[in-house]
Amino acid sequence: MYRLQYDHQRLILMKRIFVTGISTEVGKTLAAAIMVEALEADYWKPIQAGNLEASDNHRIAALISNDKTVIHKNSYALNTPMSPHAAAEIDGASITMDRISEPKTANHLIIEGAGGLLVPINDRQTILDIIKPDYKVVVVSRHYLGSINHSLLTLGWLQKAGFDVSVLFNGDAQPYTEEIILRKTGLTAIGRIHSESMINKAVVKKYADRLAPVLRTL
């Protein structure tokens, strides 16, 4: 998605990129940190479930180097590390779409989902329902037994819904896995995050510099 902003009479296209993954723990937050750093974008995670003292907001803050990014408050910050619908029930809360309101910003915005695409947020809606029709969507795919199926299902749902979707691979290359995912979806990968012994600001900045030219063309 693009938002038009004027800066000293220059027309600037402000991007809205939603980061989701094929499952939980596939590297969405690391990918989001790299994209935030690459574009010096703002960051927003609508729903945080669990780890409130060391949340994804905290992780993003610890991994980026620029001083332009604003990390916006979660619409929901739930105590229980479970699917949002369950965490909300345990916390005595109810997740409604009218409370999930995109923060106002004149900057690019990277939005991170919770878990996978079809994780329920209440009895009727899933993470998919948070994604606005004109958002760009980046799917993080990590290699494990079953990841081809999970990748094709995630990408298929997004394509069927008409989203502009891209793939970012996390982990060292697995050609047989990646080639079949890209061939069956007709997509191209925007990049790769290799397995790293340590994740810190320097590593995020390295990948941000690599990914920035591609992100600017999304």
Q: Give Cβ neighbours of residue 5 (< 8 Å, ≥ 6 apart).
A: 11, 12, 14, 106
Q: Is 15 among the residues known to form the active site? A: no
CA angle 77, 82, 85 (to 5 degrees): 70
Quick check: helix, strand or coil at residue 136? strand
Ordered DSSP codes for 83-96: -HHHHHHHHT----
Query: Are the CB atoms for 48 and 116 separated by under 8 Å?
Result: no
- For the four alpha carbons of 67, 68, 70 and 71, in that order, the dihedral sign comes to negative
Greatest CA separation found in the chain? Answer: 52
- The catalytic residue among 28, 45, 136, 205 is 45
Chain position carrying tokens 């001083």: 67
Annotated catalytic residues are 45
